[in-house]
Amino acid sequence: MLKTKEYVISFISQSIGIPNGLESIYEDIPDDIVKQISVALTGKDVHTETFEEDDSPIVDEFIQWAQEVYEEVCKENNIPAVWKSKWPNNKRFAVALTHDSDSIEVTEEHLQKVKDRFSESDLKEALEGRKNLYWNIERIKEVEDKFRFKSSFYFLTSEYNVEQYKDVLDELMKNGWEIGLHAGFGTHDNEDKMKEDIVEFKKQLGYRPRGVREHYLQFDYHKTLDFLERNEFVYDTTLGFREHPGFFLGTSMPFYPPKENWERREIIELPLIIMDTSLWGYMDLDEESGMKIIEYYIANIKKFGGLLTILWHQEAFLMKKGEIYTRILEKLSKENCFVSSGITIAEWWNNRNNFEISIVEDSQKGWKCIITNAAKGMCIEAKIFDLTKSISINGPGRIIDKSEADGEIHYSIELEGDCELFYV
Ligand SMILES: [Zn+2]
């Protein structure tokens, strides 16, 4: 089989989370679908000039199609369709909250130049030296805390020094926030420069960064991913449009990008979907239109059970449209979604991949599903097509939801450890 096709089949199977060994059901996947997915995931189908209001993730649409194919095959064979839930505790979609930090302070001269961006009272306090409008880490933490959300802060440590804030940042890390690297200009195509950035980050903070976003979203697909992987990053979250929100890679889902030879990489990419500066800068929107677009992406990603990665610059938090961030969090708090930092999402994705479900023949009961390596919060879903039968669980798992529609029963099962499912 062609390496590209092999990669695409394994990408689809992992995204859905079907049992081991069932990838072969996709052997006959049409070449044009393989091509569209492989082109999209390597960023070769990027149209920056156009922003479509009814933007849709084509790769995620194919994943949905592949899910239907899987269910159809199970139905024909009269066995249950089982697959891994995408998000912890069976949440319907996920959100990665991330903050680049392009600057942490400015001169008074600069402040005078941009004074219209701030409220009068903030400006007054800043000019009197009582408030730093460009260091908002604690302020952002405070609003996120209200909703019990965590996030990632990426620091451009090649441009400034955060050593004086080390205690604050250590405390944040201890409480579940992530401190990662905002890699400086030139690091995307020069590995020495990348290494220097890592050394500097470590000098200031005492540990290596595990998550990264390139400044100005500069990226050279295979080159940059090679550097990042060799330098032990767990994930990257650079690949997104500068000019407008959207599905730069055709997907919102976390995934393991391919190497040039179409082998799967170890590093995870969290595609960037919405950046604050696209809305206010490039698109020059007012708050309400910006909020509408954000709501559109929330709804669209929910439809696919995907991941909404949001970049909200920390230095812009007190600027006039920056306060919309709180409104976004409020909106998300009313949704059934998992909201966290980039590293938490990337580690979840790795754990989800490492837990195994496999279908075996059972001499007495025929069909049996064995689940191993289940970590906390892992759930699986099952659909059966014979209403006279049901799923039973042997081991530490429990049915948290069961619904019947269109001649199918859909189960959601929360796992507390390794267990077996039967179909009787
Ligand atoms: Zn930046």
Q: Which of 145-154, 171-180, 363-372, 394-403 has the lowest mean pLDDT?
A: 363-372
User: Are 313 and 378 in the same domain?
Assistant: no
Structural domain ending residue among the three candidates 309, 324, 349 = 349
The pLDDT tens digits for 72-107 are 999 999 999 999 999 999 999 999 999 999 999 999
Phi/psi of residue 211, each to 5°?
Answer: -120, 150
Distance 232 CA to ligand 1 centre (A): 21
Regarding whether 94 and 141 lie in a shared domain, the answer is yes
Average pLDDT, integer, range 279-284: 94
Same domain, 125 and 217: yes
Would you say residue 306 has pLDDT above 90?
A: yes
Asked whether residue 168 falls in the same domain as residue 268, the answer is: yes
Question: Residue ranges of the alpha helices (H) in 242-341?
Answer: 276-277, 287-304, 324-333
d(C-alpha 200, C-alpha 215), whole Å: 16
Ion ligand 1, residue ranges at CB < 5 A: 100, 102, 215
- Answer yes or no: do 384 and 249 share one domain: no
Percent of the chain, pLDDT > 70? Answer: 100
Residues 196 and 126 in one domain: yes
pLDDT-derived band at 326, boundaries 50, 70, 90:
very high
> Do residues 105 and 127 both lie within one domain?
yes
Spacing, Cα 20 to ligand 1 middle (Å): 40
Segment 18-67, tens digit of pLDDT: 999 999 999 999 999 999 999 999 998 777 777 887 788 999 999 999 99
Q: Are 265 and 412 members of one domain?
A: no
Determine the structural domain holding residue 181 and report its residue range: 90-349
Is there a single domain that holds both residue 363 and residue 319?
Answer: no
Q: Could you read off the pLDDT of 332-377 as tens digits, one per residue? A: 999 999 999 999 999 999 999 999 999 998 777 789 999 999 888 9
Give the strand order in the sheet containing 379-384. Answer: 81-84, 379-384, 408-415, 397-405
Positive or negative, the CA dihedral 4, 7, 11, 17 is positive
**296 CA distance to ligand 1 middle (Å):** 25
Do the domain assignments include residue 303? yes
Give the CATH number for residue 274: 3.20.20.370
Which positions ≥6 away from 291 have C-beta within 8 Å? Answer: 324, 327, 328
Q: Which residue has the tokens 């979250």?
A: 237
Supply the pLDDT for residue 67. 98
pTM of the model: 0.96
Domain count, the chain: 2
Ligand 1 midpoint to CA 351 (Å): 30
- pLDDT tens-digit readout, 193-219: 999 999 999 999 999 999 999 999 999
- pLDDT for position 194: 98
Q: Based on the domain organization, do 281 and 300 belong to the same domain? A: yes
Quote the CA–CA distance of 358 and 369 in Å, as a whole number: 6
User: Ligand 1 centre from 64 Cα, in Å?
Assistant: 34
CA of 101 to the centre of ligand 1 (A): 6
Distance 102 CA to ligand 1 centre (A): 5
Structural domain includes residue 102: yes
Mean pLDDT of 237-262: 97
CA of 295 to the centre of ligand 1 (A): 24
Question: 229 and 301, same structural domain?
Answer: yes
| Whether residue 342 is found in the same domain as residue 361 | no
Query: What is the Å distance from ligand 1's center to 77 Cα?
Result: 52
Examine the fold and report which residue of 297, 316, 349 is the final residue of a domain before the chain moves on. Answer: 349
